[in-house]
Amino acid sequence: MGVETADPGMERLAGARLTVDLAALAANWRLIADRVAPAECGAAVKGDGYGIGIGHAVTTLAQAGCRTFFVALPEEGIRARKAVPDARIFVLNGLIPGIGGDLLAHGLVPVLGSRGEIAEWRELAGRLGRPLPAAIHIDTGMNRLGLREAEAEALAGEPDALAGIETVLVMSHLACASEPDHPLNARQAAAFGRIRELFPGIAGSLANSAGTFLGAAFCHDLVRPGIALYGGAALDEHLAANPMRSVVRLDARILQVRDVPAGEGVGYGSAETAARDSRVAIVATGYADGYHRRAGSSDARKGAYGLVGGRKAPIIGRVSMDLIALDVTGIDGPEPRRGDWATLVGEDPTVDAVARCAETIGYELLTSLGTRYHRHYLPFSP
């Protein structure tokens, strides 16, 4: 986590390389910001900026115009704060007992999701003799963090319940926004509308990336996109035609190109048998780099593919810790050579396509990408 600068001279030693297109990140933020206006567009940068490095993510997004960031952990907030001295940073996981002073020291605003957290924040405000800013999280149907609707109503009915707290945001989170037709979306939107009336004059926030695609009624005052900024598909129907620009490319070095006679198995477990006399390129990345083992291939179940010389090369056999075998038999163009690069994630195949082969989602793939890559950042100039 957090390997944000690699010695450029070390690229030649690297097995695999991540290229992070910061201009694409900025363009993705602007696309959503334009679409949701007049609502403000914030950014979720948890999970080390969805794997790209939180410092780079926050710096670039701030240059693009983003003023409000959401992290999961206080530690992420502290790292984000170093990159943006004046932005608003909300800590979605809220107030862990006893850490209020740490949040204040770094100007981090907790998202309070329980009566216990609210009581602790009020108590700290009382001790310090000044109001302390916070967001209030309402659970409108996800059953994860946040006050239940009835608790929120009770809270709003008690005149002093939020005394000492400067409530700057009322928020909720959608459970099924990636499926636009899911009935829970409308139920959560209606519940959030009711709750907001209980807290008049306070900004509201409901939409993640997918929520911003569900229409203006979901956008309220502030939206919190994450995955779409990093090029991932927000809606399930975007898996094929995603409007966002690809941000992360993963290339791995070809270590060998070898012959595998028909009928011989490739890799651990001899899980996939060469159906014909084959040419196989062995590339230097694997599950230790967060390329999911489940994306591998077997006789029973075909896996993901990479691109070699711009041509599709399916994985043959299991993904190892450090190595993947790509079937390059008969691909067009020049014969692949030791030292060439193969693309495993990028514009093609997309992070979502590879994730689907691994029976997971683009979010998990991005946030799994490990620390062994040579990381190369394509700059954004505002």
Catalytic residues: 46, 268
Structure-token pair, residue 257: 């190109």
Residues 147-176 interacting with ligand PLP (rule: CB under 6 A):
173
User: Does residue 71 bind ligand PLP (CB under 6 A)?
Assistant: no
Q: Go through the chain and tell me how many residues it has.
A: 382
Does 315 contact ligand PLP by CB under 6 A?
no
DSSP-derived secondary structure letter, 315: B
Residue nearest to ligand PLP (CB): 226
Between 118 and 313, name the residue whose CB sits nearer to ligand PLP: 118
Residue 249 near residue 222, CB atoms below 8 Å: no
Question: Is residue 224 part of the contact set for ligand PLP (CB under 6 A)?
Answer: yes
Stretch that binds ligand PLP, among 56-64, 112-120, 207-215, 247-255 (CB under 6 A): 207-215
Residue 245 and residue 24 in contact, taking contact as beta carbons nearer than 8 Å: yes
Contact residue for ligand PLP among 53, 226, 303, 306 (CB under 6 A): 226
From the number of C-beta atoms within 10 Å of its C-beta (0-12, 13-18, 19+), residue 173 rates as buried
Q: Taking the complex as a whole, how short is the minimal distance between the CB of residue 209 and ligand PLP, in angstroms?
A: 3
Whose Cβ is closer to ligand PLP: residue 226's or residue 290's? 226
Q: Which of 36, 95, 227, 283 binds ligand PLP (CB under 6 A)?
A: 227
User: Tokens 């206006």 sit at which residue?
Assistant: 37
Q: Which residue, 69 or 380, has its beta carbon nearer to ligand PLP?
A: 69
Q: Segment contacting ligand PLP (CB under 6 A): 223-231, 246-254, 277-285, 342-350? A: 223-231
Q: Extract the tokens encoding 54.
A: 């939180």
Q: How far is CA 55 from CA 43, 66, 266, in A?
A: 13, 14, 40
Closest CB to ligand PLP among 111 and 328? 111
If we measure between CA atoms, which residue out of 168, 167, 218 comes closest to residue 39?
218
Angle, helices 115-128/149-157, rounded to nearest 10 degrees: 30
Distance of CA 154 to the CA centre of its chain: 35
What is the nearest approach in angstroms of ligand PLP to the Cβ of residue 354? 17
Which region among 8-16, 208-216, 277-285, 307-315 touches ligand PLP (by CB under 6 A)?
A: 208-216
76-135 binders of ligand PLP (CB under 6 A)? 92
User: Interface with ligand PLP by CB under 6 A: which range of 54-62, 220-228, 247-255, 309-317?
Assistant: 220-228
Tell me, by CB under 6 A, how many residues bind ligand PLP: 12
225 counts as binding ligand PLP under rule CB under 6 A:
yes
Of positions 68, 185, 208, 329, contacts ligand PLP by CB under 6 A: 208
Round to whole Å and give the CA distance between 68 and 223. 10
Beta-carbon contacts of 201 under 8 Å, excluding residues fewer than 6 positions away, are none
Q: What minimum distance in Å lies between the beta carbon of 312 and ligand PLP?
A: 29
> Rounded to an integer, what distance in angstroms lies between the CA atom of residue 363 and that of residue 114?
27
Q: Write the DSSP string, 193-252.
A: HHHHHHSTT--EE---HHHHTT-GGGT-SEE---GGGGT--SSGGGTTS--SPP-EEEEE
Comparing CB distances to ligand PLP, the nearer of 222 and 344 is: 222
Question: Which region among 187-195, 225-233, 239-247, 295-303 touches ligand PLP (by CB under 6 A)?
Answer: 225-233
Alpha helices in the chain (DSSP H): 22-36, 46-50, 54-64, 74-83, 100-105, 115-128, 149-157, 183-198, 209-212, 351-357, 362-368
Q: How far is CA 273 from CA 50, 263, 305, 329, in A?
A: 36, 6, 16, 14
Specify the residue, 15 or 133, whose C-beta has the smaller distance to ligand PLP. Answer: 133
| The only residue of 140, 209, 320, 350 in contact with ligand PLP, by rule CB under 6 A | 209
The binding site for ligand PLP (CB under 6 A) comprises 44, 46, 70, 92, 173, 208-210, 224-227
